[in-house]
Amino acid sequence: MKLYKVVMKDAMRRRRRVLYTALGVAVGVAAFVAVLTVTHAGEARLYRELDKYGPNMVVMPAINDVSLGLGDLRLGTLAVGDNYIAEDKLPQIRQIADGLIREALGIEDEGNIATIAPKLYMNTKVKDASVIVVGFDPEQEMLIKSWWTISSGKYPEQQDETILGAGASRILEVELGEKIPIKEQEVTVVGILEETGSDDDYQIFVPLETVQKAFKKEGLISSIDVRALCSACPVEVIADAVNETIPGVRAVAVKQIAQNEMNVIGKVNRFMLALAGITLAIGSFGVINTMTSSVYARIKDIGIMKAIGASRRQIAKMFLYEAIAVGLVGGVIGYIAGTLLAYVMGPLIYEDLSISFGLQYLPHALGLAILVAVVASVYPAFRASRVSVSDSLRSL
């Protein structure tokens, strides 16, 4: 009879002990699988957001926070700087962005390349409800926010036309064609946006020039969204050039913001993986203890096998085969438990995170479980190979 068949029959005879041993490995494997699954889903979600927005940057007023204090008592911070950007800086930003894109990609076309969408945010009241009015360039904004969909009506074409976010339209209870006051200006509601799940749902979008006149902010904007031509465009380089060249503004590449978020996520993941490693280490000690106990319980069997010609190597292999069986069982259980745990952990760590079931981590789970079980069984296998026939006779 083949050695592995002997091990399989023995494992089936002692399947409860094998299962308990495998559970010690499965707990650690489950933690690893859960962390990897949640991390993968979180990264995929973040990169989908980046793909949706495109490689872009945001230009904001360069406002600094100054700490206020009285002795050792901290009184908070004070914002220093202008809250607006002069509109005449738009051509400079375009010149820098388009120039660096042409240089990076070897483009000779002299037309506009980057999409530059200025916005002016103002708080006001409409029908006794506090709302945010966003002055925007309809043509450029539609290029930036390609995911926008008009659920009813049309996109604004005139300076006195507006579109409302889905939430704002519900709160204000307005209908298409109705006029609403924006300070001393009146604009006509021509469209309602579909729900986006972002702040856009609760904002009113009015052409920039109209909002500037209504709030007496001619020539001023609150922020600028810049969308480059492609994923290979040097967005970070553009942001650095804007910061170095144009005073009073601060350009931030969205990829840099995402990278900072990923760094924080990475630290949390490393901490969770460390805990999973500790759990695996504890599980390996359980394997060592169980397998060592198995050696003492089977001294008679080992002696008989040696008496009929089994070598030390065959005895050691028998225990290693058993460890592989324990690893396989523990890996499968750990993978299933880890995937189920990811469904629970995911929405707690990342809001509205969708976890998808996949088999990509099953080989990792099996490999890790088998590795831990085999390494933990090296010492018991060595002890088993050292058992002599005389020792087995004394155990009778």
What average pLDDT score do residues 1-30 get?
69
pLDDT tens, position by position, 277-332:
787 777 777 777 777 776 666 666 666 666 667 677 777 777 777 788 888 888 88
Tokens encoding 254: 């969205």
pLDDT tens, position by position, 65-100:
545 454 455 545 544 445 889 999 999 999 998 888
DSSP 63: -
- What would you measure as the largest C-alpha separation in the chain, in angstroms? 105
Length of the chain: 396
Reduce the DSSP state of residue 156 to 3 states and report it.
coil
pLDDT at position 284, please? 74
Tell me how far apart the alpha carbons of residues 158 and 156 are, in angstroms, rounded to a whole number.
Answer: 6
| Sole residue written with tokens 């036309």 | 161
Residue 154 predicted with pLDDT over 90: yes
| Sole residue written with tokens 């041993």 | 21
Most confident of 62-76, 94-108, 117-131: 117-131
pLDDT tens, position by position, 217-264:
999 999 999 887 665 567 788 888 999 999 888 888 876 555 555 566
Tell me the H-state helices in the chain: 3-13, 15-53, 90-105, 138-144, 166-172, 208-214, 235-245, 254-297, 299-307, 312-349, 362-385, 389-394
- Strand 203-207 and strand 129-136: the pairing is parallel
pLDDT at position 257, please? 56
Tokens encoding 141: 């904004």
> What is the percent of the chain where pLDDT is above 90?
22
What average pLDDT score do residues 149-171 get?
92
pLDDT band for 134, please (50, 70, 90 cuts): very high
Give residue 121's identity as a one-letter amino acid code.
Answer: Y
Residue 383 backbone zone (phi > 0: left; psi -120 to 50: alpha; other: beta): alpha
What average pLDDT score do residues 370-392 get?
71
- Whether residue 172 contacts residue 164, with contact meaning beta carbons closer than 8 Å, is answered with yes
Q: What angle, 0 to 180 degrees and rounded to 10, lies between the N-to-C axes of helices 235-245 and 254-297?
A: 130
